[in-house]
Structure 1
Amino acid sequence: MLTRLAWLGLEVEFLAPARRFYEETLELSVANRPLARHVNDARSDDERAVTLDAGGTELILRRPTGLPRGGLHTHFACSIPVAEYDDWWDALEDEHDLQEHTFGDARSLYLYDPDGNCVELGQGDVRGPGIDGVFEVVLEVASLEDAEDRYGRLGFETVDRGSDRRRVRMNGPVALELWEPQLGLADARGGVHVDLGFETDDLDAVEAALEQWVCSLERSNSRLIARDPDGHHLTVLED
């Protein structure tokens, strides 16, 4: 149903330091022709927003000057080639308080951006160089059971549950971690009013799934714009 995570929006207080962090520290480049600009032209104002290319997923840094806002204190994970991990650690450790966690044979490092978003760089089967896609986003939800049911209707499949039963991991075009309010690894929190953009090969099916549970839903040409009960903003485009 959903085929790809097209973008992730983050709210920033000041655009310049946020842009420096992602361009210089994480070595992301400004997207040449951002897909997100076709959804809301206000996002393309260089004084209010900038769109970066995170290995095929757009990362939108946006000041809170209108709706949708980007996500607050969002924890998200980016893939890096296995062989680059030690180089990234060496490059970042002097300026950042890094933490490391291991998942099977894969290592991940965690650091924070200037606005309190927790960025994970995790070893993955990607070519690189550098960051090559966003593979996980964490959403804060009021009711885990309800949120799991809602995202299941969009084709996400539950693959893991936290030992405290207050979080689940769902696989889809991106891994979604649904957390009731809590602190996770590296004291990360689930994102509030996160802005997610997806592509689909069946917009009618997505619309039918969304209209069962979203708080608002608009369709214009080849896109859907919705707001879920936890305040997260979902846009779906035909691929």
Structure 2
Amino acid sequence: MLSSLRWLALEVKYLDRAVAFYERHLDLSPTTRRESEAVLDTGGTDLVLRAPSGVPRGGLHVHYALATPPDRYEEWWDRLADTFDLVEHRFGSARSLYFYDVEGNCVEIGQRGEGAGALSGVFEVVLEVEDLDRAEAFYTDLGMDVTNRGEERKRVRLTTGRFDLELWEPHLGLADARGGVHVDVGVGADDPAAAAARVEGRARSVAPLDGERVRVCDPDGHYVTLLE
């Protein structure tokens, strides 16, 4: 069984510039800083900013969504509206705003969070895939459940119950966002080895890591590290 999203890694060309962007606009300061990487705590999910330095790389032009409590949403709108050309969409009674970071990632802040913090983690990540059926089968076998599909068969949404993953064939989505390429995520799993074994025949690679973690590379080159 899969659970929460532990980290999302983004590739950045200039690390200092990317860190400054997130500090200024989202109040996210590094909890860990290395020569080519900075880790920001979004309130439940680590956002890793990673300069090109090896494999796995961080994702490029990733669309991802940060959760905020419903009563904090207007604060974010008021704070960001003077700087960004915000786009807003409604999903039932919930609203989400969209803007772009300094590296071209589409950042969503949606009314889905809980607690007192202004942000409470990443609740959605979008991956670009070549073959939607193949990608859906891979991630359902890994342990996710399908919740809906696009009317034009360009996307499918899956969930662990703790976070959502959208698989997109190449296209522009809401706010002209694109699915990310070579995205690197960490996902909680009750039994990492068992989850990896279910997709071993179709994964590009499966590599045991220290601490009973297993890193899986999916058919489209996205990396998923499974950990307890």
So what's the TM-score if we normalise by structure 1? Answer: 0.91
SS at match of 2:22: helix
Deviations 1:205-232 (A, max 9, x none): 1121131211111113411112111010
Matched, 1:96 2:88: no
Question: Are 2:3 and 2:163, in contact at CA under 8 Å, matched by a contact in 1?
Answer: no
Matched, 1:177 2:166: yes
1:187 deviates by 0.2
Structure 2 residue ranges without an equivalent (≥5): none
The aligned amino acid for 1:187 is D
Question: Are 2:10 and 2:47, in contact at CA under 8 Å, matched by a contact in 1?
Answer: yes
Equivalent residue number for residue 87 of structure 1: 75
1:30 deviates by 2.1
1:191 deviates by 0.3
Matched, 1:197 2:206: no
Distance of 1:199 and 1:185 partners within structure 2: 28
Deviations 1:54-104 (A, max 9, x none): 111100000112111100000000100111111111110111111000000
Question: Are 1:6 and 1:198, in contact at CA under 8 Å, matched by a contact in 2?
Answer: yes
Matched, 1:218 2:207: yes
Residue-pair matches, total: 226
2:226 to 220, 231, 236: 236
1:125 deviates by 4.2
Equivalent residue number for residue 157 of structure 1: 145
Distance of 1:160 and 1:127 partners within structure 2: 27
The aligned amino acid for 2:188 is E
Question: Are 1:79 and 1:133, in contact at CA under 8 Å, matched by a contact in 2?
Answer: yes
Question: Are 1:31 and 1:58, in contact at CA under 8 Å, matched by a contact in 2?
Answer: no
2:217 to 215, 227, 230: 227
SS at match of 2:165: strand
SS at match of 1:153: helix
Equivalent residue number for residue 28 of structure 1: 28
1:53 deviates by 0.2
> Which deviates further from its counterpart, 187-196 or 225-234?
225-234
> Which deviates further from its counterpart, 196-205 or 60-69?
196-205
Equivalent residue number for residue 3 of structure 1: 3
Equivalent residue number for residue 176 of structure 2: 187
Q: Residues 11-160 of structure 1 correspond to what in structure 2 (within 5 A)?
A: 11-31=11-31, 45=34, 47-160=35-148
So what's the TM-score if we normalise by structure 2? Answer: 0.95
Question: Are 1:140 and 1:181, in contact at CA under 8 Å, matched by a contact in 2?
Answer: yes
Distance of 1:203 and 1:15 partners within structure 2: 31
Distance of 1:11 and 1:204 partners within structure 2: 27
Question: Are 2:196 and 2:216, in contact at CA under 8 Å, matched by a contact in 1?
Answer: no
Percent identity reads: 52
Q: Deviating runs (4+, > 3 A) in structure 1? A: none
Question: Are 1:7 and 1:57, in contact at CA under 8 Å, matched by a contact in 2?
Answer: yes
Distance of 2:29 and 2:118 partners within structure 1: 11
1:128 deviates by 3.5
Question: Are 1:9 and 1:195, in contact at CA under 8 Å, matched by a contact in 2?
Answer: yes
Deviations 1:90-120 (A, max 9, x none): 1101111110000000000001000000000
The aligned amino acid for 1:200 is A
Distance of 1:125 and 1:117 partners within structure 2: 21
Deviations 1:11-41 (A, max 9, x none): 0011112111212211123236xxxxxxxxx
